[in-house]
Structure 1
């Protein structure tokens, strides 16, 4: 390893809508990039970098506040890049516009800013991996309804996933999907080796995520 390589900042900051999203992204990134350890991934609750609902007139001041906090962090913990998660809350290709907005908003930062934008929400991606989802809880049925289809067109993905894992005739006490299960699903995807293609279905926003991780 050269002195230049030893000096390269290793910290990959992970920002997102909540702790479950940040932890899930960290699991996936560590599996996709074996050269990045879990210790190099730093999920942070703050700053909240979300931009989708910020009016254009407030974007500059919002970006300045987020950027100032990241620059302060960089003094003590040199940053390699920043992964910024935000749900599109709409079907594909809505994720593309939000990716562009995030990149434009934070273009002045001295490190790569890599948007992580699922079409509708992160639960959309779990329809790509029905067997991994099924393995999280023995009582769940695998969500195979979208075999061979574009899961990026699923509306209200979280609610649809809750319905999809519920078997016919389930008791009222049936434990359906909750947001905290995303971390478990990601771990199952990794442990079963399902991150590599061919995929069960299609998702352009998932491919955008893979492309972002490859650029770290």
Structure 2
């Protein structure tokens, strides 16, 4: 009997990979085996081609090592764009095409424009479920991928207008908690705004063959 497919989630840090894992589970509610990986970091951005190739090769080497242990691997690679849409299109394509050339058959890039915090604007109720003292983070744009400096914009959106009532600020460690609430509350398809970068990610995750 073949080994079950395992999704290997790579990213820029542990908070990102844990958050992406929760989103995958929200998008694929059937039993899915997911492992997050701390190294190598996903650094592909298309600005330094030699460095990008080295990063892709290192990531592929980790996957091949798992395959030699008998695992059937799918790769999910997260990378913030640090730019607005459509920047996600190039970054996602570079990641996916680079890994496909390395022989990794199923690859999905989670390229969030500007940063993954832009995606959290999609589910204001998930943020409130993490901290009820925060202000409801209404999306400042119909397309959250057009929000510059999304992390700071999200942090500010959560702050109550009355300073004396201000709770603690959002921290990057809240990302996986918000994503978990998206999954637990069944919100993944109930979005308060649009996001081309999230739509791209979600569509490809749902198309993965995991049998």
TM-score, normalisation: structure 2: 0.90
Q: Distance in 1 between matches of 2:139 and 2:62?
A: 43
Equivalent residue in structure 1 for 2:204, among 201, 205, 212? 212
Query: Which range moved further: 25-34 or 166-175?
Result: 166-175
Deviations 1:80-127 (A, max 9, x none): 310000011111111001011112221222321111111101000111
How far apart are 1:63 and its partner, in Å? 2.6
Measured in 2, the distance between the counterparts of 1:174 and 1:34 equals 33
How many angstroms does 1:146 deviate by? 2.8
Residue 15 of structure 1 pairs with residue 10 of structure 2: yes
Residue 135 of structure 2 corresponds to 141
- Structure 2, unaligned runs of 5 or more: none
Structure 1 residues not aligned, in runs of 5+: 1-5
**Equivalence for 1:47:** 40
Secondary structure (helix, strand or coil) at the match of 2:118 reads: helix
Q: Provide closer, same or farther for how the CA distance between residues 30 and 77 of structure 1 changes in structure 2, counting only shifts above 3 A.
A: farther
Deviation, structure 1 residue 195: 1.0
Are 1:177 and 2:170 an aligned pair?
Answer: yes
Confirm whether residue 151 of structure 1 aligns to residue 165 of structure 2.
no
TM-superposed deviation, 1:41: 0.1
Which residue of 138, 158, 163 maps to 2:156?
163
Tell me what 2:22 maps to: 27
Contact 2:67–2:73 (8 Å) recurs in 1: no
Q: Is the 8 A contact 2:122 2:139 kept in 1?
A: no
More moved, 91-100 vs 53-62: 53-62
Comparing 57-66 and 120-129, the one that deviates more: 57-66
- Secondary structure at the counterpart of residue 195 of structure 1: coil
Q: Secondary structure at the match of 2:205?
A: helix
Query: TM-score, with normalisation over the residues of structure 1?
Result: 0.88
Bigger radius of gyration, 1 or 2? Answer: 1
Q: Measured at CA, do residues 167 and 101 of structure 1 come closer, stay the same or move farther in structure 2, by a change above 3 Å?
A: same
Alpha-carbon RMSD: 1.9
